[in-house]
C-alpha cells in the first residue's frame, strides 16, 4: 500500500496502516436496524464501544442516505447533529469526528461550533451549490463521494446507466478535485467511490475489482460496503445477517488499496486489518 496521511484535529495519522471509521447514525431509519441511535444513551454507548474497539474516526449522520430514504429537513438535521455533537464532545472530548452531510449549513455548524475533523459528503457537492465554497472556507479534510441523483432517486431514473462506467466515475472525481483546488481548498481530499450509490450490484463489484485505479489521484481511498445490499441481496440475506460477508468484502477492498474502512462493526473491521497486515508481512 502506498503511504498516505491525513491530519485530524491537528494530529497526523499515517494511512500506510489502514484505519476504521465507525458509523453512528442518529436517525430512526438507517437501513441497518442495529445502527439506529436517536436516543442519547444509545449514540453515546455506540460511540464508546467504537472507540474501545479501535475506531480512529466516528462518523455521525443525521439523515439516512439509504435508497429511497425519506427527506429530512435542514432544521431537523441541524437539531439532531447539534444535540449529538454537544453530548459527544462533553463525554469524549476532542475525538476525531466526521459529519455525514451534503448540506453546507450543517457542515458549517459542525466545524465552527464542534470542531469536527472531516466533512463526509455523499453528494460530491451536487445537492448543495454552496458546499464546495463552504468546504474551501472551513478547510478541513473532505470526503468526496461519487453519486448520481439523490438518495431518493439514485437507483432510479437511469442513474445506474453509464456509457462507460469506470472512466465516467474517474472523470467525475477528476472534475470535482479540479473544482476544489480552484477554490484554494488545501486540505486532504478522501476518495469514496460510493458503493451502493447509483450503481447496480454488478457495477459495485466491478468497482471493487478495480479500486486500485483511484490511486491515480494519490489521495486516501475510503470504502463503505458495510452490510450493504451489494452483499446481502447477492446472498439472499439481510443487513442483520451480513457481518461475515462484510468482513470478506472489506478484506478484498484492503487488497485493492483501501486506506479507510467505514463500518458498523469496528471489532470485525479491526480484525480484518490485523489479518491483512499479517498476510502482507507488516
Q: Are strands 142-145 and 118-121 parallel, antiparallel or unpaired?
A: parallel
Cell of 116: 469536527
Distances (CA, A) of 140 to 73, 96, 123, 191, 207: 25, 12, 17, 15, 27
User: Bridge-partner residues for 221, per DSSP?
Assistant: 191
CB neighbours of residue 2 within 10 Å: 12
Gap between the Cα atoms of 10 and 195, Å rounded: 29
Gap between the Cα atoms of 192 and 222, Å rounded: 5
Q: Nearest to residue 107, comparing CAs of 81, 71, 88? A: 81
Residue 11 is among the residues annotated as catalytic for this protein: no
Catalytic, out of 80, 148, 227, 228: 228
Residue 181 is among the residues annotated as catalytic for this protein: no
Catalytic, out of 80, 148, 199, 262: 262
Q: Nearest to residue 62, comparing CAs of 45, 78, 44, 43? A: 78
197 CB-contact burial (10 Å; exposed 0-12 / middle 13-18 / buried 19+): buried
CB neighbours of residue 16 within 10 Å: 11
Q: Which amino acids are annotated catalytic?
A: 228, 262
Amino acid at each position: 500500500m502506498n503511504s498516505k496521511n491525513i491530519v485530524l484535529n491537528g494530529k497526523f495519522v499515517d494511512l500506510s496502516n489502514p484505519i476504521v471509521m465507525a458509523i453512528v447514525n442518529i436517525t430512526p431509519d438507517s437501513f441497518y436496524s442495529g445502527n439506529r441511535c436517536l436516543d442519547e444513551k444509545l449514540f453515546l454507548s455506540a460511540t464508546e464501544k467504537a472507540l474501545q474497539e479501535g475506531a480512529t474516526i466516528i462518523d455521525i449522520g443525521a439523515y439516512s442516505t439509504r435508497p429511497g430514504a425519506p427527506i429530512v429537513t435542514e432544521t431537523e438535521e441541524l437539531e439532531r447533529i447539534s444535540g449529538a455533537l454537544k453530548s459527544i464532545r462533553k463525554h469524549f472530548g476532542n475525538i476525531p469526528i466526521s459529519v455525514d452531510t451534503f448540506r453546507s449549513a450543517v457542515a458549517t455548524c459542525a466545524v465552527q461550533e464542534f470542531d469536527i475533523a472531516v466533512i463526509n459528503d455523499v453528494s460530491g457537492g451536487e445537492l448543495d451549490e454552496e458546499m464546495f465554497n463552504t468546504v474551501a472556507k472551513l478547510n478541513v479534510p473532505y470526503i468526496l463521494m461519487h453519486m448520481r441523483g439523490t438518495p431518493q432517486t439514485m437507483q432510479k431514473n437511469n442513474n445506474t446507466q453509464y456509457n462507460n462506467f469506470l472512466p465516467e466515475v474517474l472523470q467525475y472525481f477528476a472534475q470535482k478535485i479540479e473544482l476544489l483546488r480552484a477554490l484554494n481548498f488545501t486540505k486532504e481530499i478522501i476518495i469514496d467511490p460510493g458503493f451502493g450509490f447509483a450503481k447496480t450490484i454488478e457495477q459495485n463489484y466491478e468497482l471493487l475489482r478495480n479500486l486500485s485505479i483511484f490511486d491515480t489521484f494519490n489521495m486516501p481511498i475510503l470504502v463503505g460496503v458495510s452490510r450493504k445490499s451489494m452483499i446481502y441481496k447477492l446472498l439472499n440475506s439481510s443487513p442483520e445477517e451480513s457481518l461475515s460477508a462484510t468482513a470478506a468484502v472489506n478484506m478484498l477492498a484492503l487488497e485493492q488499496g483501501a486506506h479507510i474502512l467505514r463500518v458498523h462493526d469496528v471489532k470485525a473491521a479491526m480484525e480484518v486489518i490485523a489479518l491483512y497486515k499479517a498476510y502482507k508481512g507488516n
